[in-house]
C-alpha cells in the first residue's frame, strides 16, 4: 500500500493518494487533477474512487474533472445532493481498493453530509482515518457554515459532539488522523501546524476530544468567537455541488499573453480588475495605477477570496515571468475562473510603452518608531487581524484590519499620509494598493511589519501585549 498526503500550504489543505494492488483512491482532490493522474500512471494503477469528505467551502474541488478523465466513481456521504452522478454511500459502507478497504463513517456536524473514511490495511487492521473537517489536529470544524433556518449553528455543534464520541473516539489510539485542513484555514479556530497525528495523542491534547467535556460546554466553545466566514465560502460550496469549467479550459483562457497596448485597453475598462501577483518589493517599486497587489508568495488564495467580492470578476494580471499558469491555477482553486490574460513582458513592457506608473514609499521599522516619537508620523495603521492586534500592538496605533478595507477605505482622507504595518509586510502592501485604487495615494508601507517593529529600539514607544488562554 502507498499512502501519500499532498499538502498545499497556501490553502492549508490536505488531499490524499492511496494505492494498493493496481487500484487507487483520491480523497478531497484539488481542482488541478493532472497531478493525481500522473501519480497513478507512475504506479501503474487505476484511480477507482474519488472520495469527498464534504462539500468544501474554502476551495473548489476537482472531483468531477478527475472522475471524467479517469472513469472513477465519486463517493459522498448521506444527505449529499449534487447535479452530477455520484455514489451516495451509507454509514458503514465498505469500499475495496486493491487489497485494502475504506469504511465510510457518517459524521454530521461541520456539515450534514460530512463523512470520514476509515482505512484498513491488507490484514484488515485499522491504520488511518481521513477526517475532512470533522476533526482537525488540535481543533474541529466550525459548525456555522451549513446552518439553515431549520438547523442552527448550535444544532450542528451538537451533531458534531455526538459524531466525535460515537464514531471517532471509539477507534483505536494508534491510527493516524489525516484532516482536510491545517493552520491557516478559516474552517477552524485554533488548528495545529502539524498536518497529521495519532488519534491517541489527539485524545490527550485536542480540547474537543476531552472525555470530561460536556455537550453543553462543547457547543458553547464551538459557537463562541467565530469570525464571519469569507464571502466566497458559500460560492465554493455551490460550485462543489455542480459541474464547473474544466481546469484545462480555464488555464488555456487565462494563460494568454497580451502586449502592453492591448493590456492598457483593458486596464481602462472598469469591468476588469488588474491584479499584480509579484513580490511586495517589486510592487511598491513600480506598478500600474489602480492595480491590486496580492502576491503569489503569501496567503494568496484566501486573500483573493476575501477581497475580490465578485467571484465572476474579470481579471487581467502581472506575474513573475514563468508563473503565469500558476497564477491562473491558484485563482481557479477558489473559484475565480475569469482570468483573461497577462501582461507579456511584465512591468518593463508597460514602462517601455510609455504608460504611467505608481510607487509606494517604504520605510524601515526603526524609521516608523522614530517618526511616532517625534510626531512626524501622525496617522499610523495596524492592518492585521483582531486576534493578532489584541495579542500585541504599538500603543496608540488603531486597527484597520485588511479584511474590512472595502468599508474602512471610505473613512480615510485623501489628503492625509498614512503609515501602515501588518505582521511581516505582505498584507500592508495589499492594503496600500487597494487604498491607492480608491484615491488614497499617500500610504507608506513599514517594511517587515510588526515582526520588525518589535526588534527596534522602541525609545518612548510601547508595545501593548495581552496574555490570553483558551480551553
DSSP assignments along 292-314, one per residue: EE--SSSSHHHHHHHH---TT-E
Half-sphere exposure (CA, 13 Å, Cβ side) for 77? 26
Going by the DSSP 8-state scheme, the letter that residue 85 receives in this structure is: -
Using DSSP, how many helices (H) and how many strands (E) does the chain show? 17, 23
Quickly tell me which residue has 474579470 as its cell: 314
The values of phi and psi at residue 412, to 5°, are -80, 150
Intervals of the chain under pLDDT 70: 466-471
Task: Give dist(CA 74, CA 104) in Å, integer.
Answer: 13
Q: Is the pTM of this model over 0.75?
A: yes
Cα angle 307, 302, 209 (rounded to 5 degrees) comes to 130
Quickly tell me which residue has 498584507 as its cell: 427
C-alpha cell recorded at residue 247: 481546469
- Would you say the C-alpha torsion 116, 121, 124, 128 has a positive or negative sign? negative
What are the extents of the domains in the chain? 2-235, 245-353, 361-465
Is residue 329 within a helix (H) or strand (E), and if so which, with residue range? helix 324-332
Predicted confidence (pLDDT) per residue in 193-226, tens digit? 899 999 999 999 999 999 999 999 999 999 987 7
Task: Give dist(CA 450, CA 389) in Å, integer.
Answer: 10
Task: Give dist(CA 133, CA 140) in Å, integer.
Answer: 7
- State the pLDDT at residue 468: 46
Predicted confidence (pLDDT) per residue in 261-317, tens digit? 999 999 999 999 999 999 999 999 999 999 999 999 988 988 999 899 999 999 999
Is residue 262 within a helix (H) or strand (E), and if so which, with residue range? helix 260-267
Is residue 429 within a helix (H) or strand (E), and if so which, with residue range? helix 427-437
3-class secondary structure, 195: coil
CATH code, residues 2-235:
3.60.15.10
3-class secondary structure, 74: strand
Return the CATH superfamily for domain 361-465: Rhodanese-like domain (3.40.250.10)
How, if at all, do strands 126-132 and 176-179 pair?
A: parallel
Is residue 153 within a helix (H) or strand (E), and if so which, with residue range? helix 153-163
Q: 148: which strand partners?
A: 151
The values of phi and psi at residue 257, to 5°, are -75, 145
The values of phi and psi at residue 281, to 5°, are -65, -45
CB 33 within 8 A of CB 69: yes
Task: Give dist(CA 272, CA 118) in Å, integer.
Answer: 46
Cα angle 115, 61, 429 (rounded to 5 degrees) comes to 120
CB 66 within 8 A of CB 29: yes
180: left (phi over 0), alpha (psi -120 to 50) or beta: alpha
Indicate the CATH number of 245-353 among 3.90.1150.10, 3.40.250.10, 3.30.300.30, 2.70.70.10.
3.40.250.10
Q: How many residues does the chain have?
A: 471
Cα angle 272, 273, 279 (rounded to 5 degrees) comes to 145
Instruction: Tell me whether the CATH fold assigned to 2-235 matches the one assigned to 245-353.
Output: no
Amino acid at each position: 500500500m502507498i499512502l501519500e498526503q499532498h499538502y498545499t500550504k497556501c490553502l492549508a489543505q490536505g488531499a490524499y493518494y492511496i494505492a494498493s494492488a493496481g487500484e487507487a483512491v483520491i480523497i478531497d482532490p484539488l481542482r488541478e487533477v493532472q497531478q493525481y493522474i500522473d501519480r497513478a500512471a507512475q504506479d501503474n494503477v487505476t484511480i477507482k474512487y474519488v472520495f469527498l469528505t464534504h462539500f468544501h467551502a474554502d476551495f473548489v474541488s476537482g472531483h468531477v474533472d478527475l472522475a471524467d478523465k479517469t472513469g472513477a466513481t465519486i463517493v459522498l456521504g448521506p444527505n449529499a445532493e449534487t447535479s452530477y452522478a455520484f455514489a451516495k454511500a451509507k454509514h458503514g459502507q465498505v469500499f475495496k481498493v486493491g487489497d485494502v478497504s475504506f469504511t465510510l463513517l457518517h459524521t454530521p456536524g461541520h456539515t450534514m453530509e460530512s463523512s470520514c473514511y476509515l482505512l484498513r490495511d491488507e490484514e484488515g487492521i485499522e491504520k488511518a482515518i481521513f477526517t475532512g473537517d470533522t476533526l482537525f489536529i488540535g481543533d474541529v470544524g466550525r459548525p456555522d457554515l451549513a446552518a439553515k433556518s431549520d438547523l442552527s449553528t448550535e444544532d450542528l455543534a451538537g451533531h458534531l459532539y455526538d459524531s466525535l464520541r460515537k464514531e471517532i473516539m471509539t477507534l483505536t489510539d494508534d491510527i493516524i488522523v489525516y484532516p482536510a485542513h491545517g493552520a491557516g484555514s478559516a474552517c477552524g479556530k485554533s488548528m495545529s501546524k502539524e498536518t497529521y497525528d495519532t488519534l491517541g495523542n489527539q485524545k490527550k491534547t485536542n480540547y474537543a476530544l476531552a472525555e470530561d467535556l460536556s455537550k453543553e460546554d462543547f457547543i458553547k466553545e464551538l459557537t463562541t468567537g467565530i469570525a464571519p466566514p469569507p464571502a466566497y465560502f458559500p460560492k465554493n460550496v455551490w460550485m462543489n455541488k455542480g459541474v464547473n469549467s474544466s481546469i484545462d479550459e480555464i488555464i488555456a483562457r487565462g494563460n494568454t499573453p497580451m502586449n502592453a497596448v492591448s493590456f492598457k485597453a483593458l486596464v481602462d475598462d472598469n469591468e476588469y480588475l488588474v491584479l499584480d501577483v509579484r513580490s511586495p518589493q517589486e510592487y511598491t517599486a513600480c506598478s500600474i495605477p489602480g492595480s491590486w497587489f496580492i502576491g503569489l508568495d503569501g496567503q494568496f488564495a484566501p486573500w483573493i477570496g476575501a477581497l475580490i467580492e465578485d467571484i465572476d470578476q474579470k481579471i487581467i494580471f502581472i506575474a513573475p515571468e514563468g508563473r503565469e499558469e500558476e497564477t491562473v491555477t491558484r485563482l481557479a482553486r477558489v473559484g475565480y475562473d475569469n482570468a483573461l490574460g497577462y501582461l507579456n513582458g511584465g512591468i518593463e513592457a508597460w514602462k517601455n510603452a510609455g504608460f504611467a506608473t505608481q510607487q509606494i514609499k517604504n520605510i524601515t521599522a526603526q524609521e516608523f518608531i522614530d517618526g511616532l516619537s517625534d510626531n512626524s508620523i501622525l496617522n499610523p495603521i495596524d492592518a492585521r487581524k483582531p486576534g493578532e492586534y489584541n495579542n500585541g500592538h504599538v500603543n496608540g496605533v488603531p486597527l484597520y484590519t485588511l479584511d474590512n478595507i472595502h468599508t474602512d477605505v471610505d473613512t480615510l482622507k485623501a489628503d492625509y499620509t498614512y503609515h501602515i504595518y501588518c505582521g511581516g509586510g505582505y498584507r500592508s502592501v495589499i492594503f496600500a494598493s487597494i487604498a491607492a485604487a480608491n484615491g488614497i495615494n499617500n500610504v507608506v508601507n513599514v517594511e517587515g511589519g510588526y515582526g520588525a517593529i518589535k526588534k527596534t529600539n522602541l525609545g518612548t514607544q510601547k508595545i501593548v501585549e495581552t496574555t490570553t488562554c483558551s480551553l
